[in-house]
Amino acid sequence: MSSAPAGARETVAACPACLSVDARPFTTTAAMMHASDERFSFVRCGGCGVVYLSPRVPAADLGDWYPPSYLPWRGPAAWGRWAPLVASGLRATDRRRVRRVQRYGSLGPASRVLDVGCGRPTFLRALVDETGCRAVGTDVSDEGWKGEHALARDLDLRTGELEEFAFDESFDLVTMWHYLEHDYAPHRTLRTVRALAAPGARLVIEVPDHDSWSRRRYGAEWAGYHTPRHTVLWDSASLGSALESAGWQVEAIEPVGSLDAWTLAWMSRQERRGIDWADSMEPHFAGFLAGRALLWPLMRAWERLRGRRGTGVLTAVARAATDGR
């Protein structure tokens, strides 16, 4: 385990979602998925209701919070002999994402897709393999595809901030899978992708749901905070108003997603227990699987009850209206 990072923290002057300066203390949480005694504060915006990290880690120092031992970067191998099962679970998540975006019209070789915060671009790989669309993925780091030629083949992958890139065509579909909660300026990002969207284009966003059952159940130990890497915690109301004010027409915001809601609950339980996330995950797999077998069907049943609070994640779908907005 790497040593706890220490350094300057920056107070956030205005809400990253709506720019209101009205903010009230909300909660404090320990650093998560990292050996650190540091605690961080979240505030709630008086304007749009979003919960955001303040003070936060300056963007230039964020690398301290993504050491080589960071679990998502270790991939399925972190789970030892269970790695093939974990890998098949990740492929199933990509398939759910591909099916989800295909609901909004057929994609083909003429379609242009942008995935913001693509990480390891397995979703784009699956989408391009299935539809032949042309795909661009962006991320602040190339850790997710460096040296992976088969994975990156035909994908236009770019490293840096979205605003820095020039694109010669507009996009028919923009996706953000667990990206927007990391963004330091989401109001700007949503406007930027609106300007890049073709008339009638869809934007699909999945984020942790701060208004969910699991956040209420686990409180400050809810893994959705992912402290201090998550800067903005959305709920359906704050995400909807951020989309509308960026010029998007909201079509649906649903308390479900491609991410297995049990995973978020399980991670919250491990934060509560204080496990060492840099260790092998192999001994934890049986507990993960048993809990999933017992509780996931209940969580799915809960999710299917329309109008009820979700268990852990939100999906928003918005359209770039053609009326000049």
Binding site for Zn ion (CB under 5 A): 15, 17-18, 20, 45, 47-48, 50
Residue among 141, 133, 211, 146 at smallest CA distance from 173: 133
Give the span between the Cα atoms of 175 and 136, in whole angstroms.
10
Phi first, then psi, for residue 87 (nearest 5°) are: -60, -40
* Residue 198 CB, nearest approach to Zn ion (Å): 29
* Residue 238 CB, nearest approach to Zn ion (Å): 7
Q: Which is nearer to Zn ion, 118 or 232 (CB)?
A: 232
Q: Is 3 exposed, middle or buried (0-12, 13-18, 19+ CB in 10 A)?
A: exposed
The strand pairing partners of 10, in sequence order, are 56
Q: Which is nearer to Zn ion, 51 or 256 (CB)?
A: 51
Q: Residues of 187-207 as b/e, b for ≥16 C-beta within 10 angstroms?
A: bbbbbbbbebbbeebbbbbbb
* Residue 181 CB, nearest approach to Zn ion (Å): 14
| Residue 112 Cα to chain centre, angstroms | 21
Give the span between the Cα atoms of 104 and 202, in whole angstroms.
7
Give the span between the Cα atoms of 157 and 134, in whole angstroms.
11
Residues across the chain: 325
* Residue 40 CB, nearest approach to Zn ion (Å): 18
Q: Which is nearer to Zn ion, 98 or 314 (CB)?
A: 314
Whether residue 25 contacts residue 54, with contact meaning beta carbons closer than 8 Å, is answered with no
Q: Which is nearer to Zn ion, 17 or 62 (CB)?
A: 17
* Residue 262 CB, nearest approach to Zn ion (Å): 30
* Residue 45 CB, nearest approach to Zn ion (Å): 3
Q: Which is nearer to Zn ion, 138 or 238 (CB)?
A: 238
* Residue 15 CB, nearest approach to Zn ion (Å): 3
Give the span between the Cα atoms of 228 and 199, in whole angstroms.
36
Cβ-based neighbours of 103, under 8 Å, separated by 6 or more: none
Q: Which is nearer to Zn ion, 23 or 98 (CB)?
A: 23
Q: Which is nearer to Zn ion, 93 or 238 (CB)?
A: 238
